[in-house]
Amino acid sequence: MRPISEEDLTTRARIRDAAMALFAEQGVKATTIRGIAEAAKVSPGLVQHHFGTKEALRQACDEYVLSYLREQVTVGVTDHNLDKPEFIENVHRTAPPLMKYLGRALVDGSPAAAAMFDELVSVTEEHLADDDRSEADHRARATVLTAMKLGITVLHEHVSRALGTDLYAPQGALRVGKAQLDLIRPEFLGRELFDQARTGLEKVEGQR
Amino acid sequence: MRPISEEDLTTRARIRDAAMALFAEQGVKATTIRGIAEAAKVSPGLVQHHFGTKEALRQACDEYVLSYLREQVTVGVTDHNLDKPEFIENVHRTAPPLMKYLGRALVDGSPAAAAMFDELVSVTEEHLADDDRSEADHRARATVLTAMKLGITVLHEHVSRALGTDLYAPQGALRVGKAQLDLIRPEFLGRELFDQARTGLEKVEGQR
DNA sequence: GTCTATATAATGATAGAC
DNA sequence: GTCTATCATTATATAGAC
């Protein structure tokens, strides 16, 4: 429920956050160390001092996103905080830049993103196999379901433009969540998504 | 039903095809003119001679994909050839590199890809609005449906790895198509996808 | 920790020969 | 149409001062 780590407001963290944002927007290759330095308001030399090479900086971003996701899953799912307002508020505030980075990393080709995709498929597959013991192609269903959900993250820019609302603003996330509920057969939706949409619905509806 | 254009086996076309493949794999920025030249087995100078600048080459790829898609829609949908074996065979042979390029272009940020996304959303939205005249958020549904379908294209590399089969091989496309049929509520599936999966099913089942 | 200055490499683009 | 040679720019990475 607290920020990921104590040293999070250090210069090092500022550089990493700036790098994540630029990597997400432009991709790794198109992002320069100079650009990162400028965004973080430091000199290019300091970026190298802290992370050595651009590739090492990219890996640091990967690891940060992975540890963030694991932490949120632990706090949210394992500790049953998914419906706690503080948890939801914290996720809505901190998750967007990390999600954007993840979406880009899946296309730019980072080992960490690929591993996370595979992990998500496996978790989904077990879930499907438990619910339905038929001969169905659970592997393909889990893969497609994962790709479809992450597809929205990867294409967030286009989704936001078509919606006229930022996907990562409360209203946008709500509309997309509800649309997913409408489009996907209910038996294949994880409880997380269902709860997320329901809780978000109650929250936004209550605000007006 | 014939190749897109007559000059398609020229050196110029070979360069464009090599560029499309590399742009799709690595993104525009990470792809060098030298790399394209090597893949097309020509000199770097010749690439510049034909397309002027790298940006102009990227635009040429965009336009080629767009004209290809429009042609296939015309021949397939408008002329009712969707179930013709020659049409299907031709698509399966020529579409994959173009789809891969399109998927990458959606993330790399090309105006043509963005326009195509918006167009797809609009077509889907009209389709949904015709079928269901309720107060539902058709815009959001159309957007999410489009993003989910294209998400599979954009994440084809991960989908193929998780499946253990190339998404753009007949078996892979079939498994993914069937999984989509299973996951998405039937009333939201366009007839194209349904027909595609059914025809593909019959074809593959008939081969063994 | 933070900066400036610089060495080194790679890339897009041009010019001109064949 | 096709190639080789070259220029100018830009990027990463290093070294050393403060």
Mean pLDDT, rounded, of chain A: 91
Amino acid at site B6: E
Q: Give the pair of three-digit tokens for residue B90.
A: 């031709």
pLDDT digit string, tens, across residues A140-151: 999 999 999 999
Kindly report, as residue ranges, where domains of CATH 1.10.10.60 are found in chain B: 1-52
More confident residue, A38 or B170: A38
Closest Cβ opposite residue B158 in set A114, A163, A185: A114
Minimum CA–CA partner of B27 in chain A: A108
pLDDT at B190: 72
pLDDT digit string, tens, across residues A12-31: 999 999 999 999 999 999 99
pLDDT at B128: 94
**How large a percentage of chain B has pLDDT more than 70?**
90
pLDDT at A2: 52
Q: How confident is the model at residue B6 (pLDDT cuts 50, 70, 90)?
A: very low
Chain C: nucleotides under 7 Å from a protein CB?
Answer: 1-5, 10-16
Cβ burial, residue B4 (10 Å; 0-12/13-18/19+):
middle
Query: Strand ranges (DSSP E) for chain A?
Result: none
pLDDT digit string, tens, across residues B40-77: 999 999 999 999 999 999 999 999 999 999 999 999 98
Strand D reaches within 7 A of the A54 CB: yes
**A5 pLDDT exceeds 60?**
no
**A64 pLDDT exceeds 90?**
yes
Q: How confident is the model at residue A6 (pLDDT cuts 50, 70, 90)?
A: very low
Cα distance between residue B144 and residue B127, in whole Å: 14
**A191 pLDDT exceeds 80?**
no
Distance from CA of A62 to the nearest CA of B (A): 17
Instruction: Report DSSP state, residue A9.
Output: G
pLDDT at A82: 87
Mean pLDDT, rounded, of chain B: 92
Beta-bridge partners for A140: none
pLDDT (mean) for B84-111 = 95
Amino acid at site A106: L
**Superfamily for domain range B1-52:** Homeodomain-like (1.10.10.60)
More confident residue, A196 or A91: A91
Q: Give the pair of three-digit tokens for residue B201.
A: 């099913």
Q: Which residues of B touch A150 (CB under 8 A)?
A: 151, 155
pLDDT at A189: 82
Torsion of Cα atoms, B196 then B197 then B203 then B204, to 10°: 140
**Within chain B, where are the H helices?**
11-26, 33-40, 44-51, 54-73, 85-108, 111-131, 138-154, 156-163, 170-183, 191-207
pLDDT at A201: 65
Q: Give the pair of three-digit tokens for residue A198.
A: 């329901």
Minimum CA–CA partner of B173 in chain A: A140
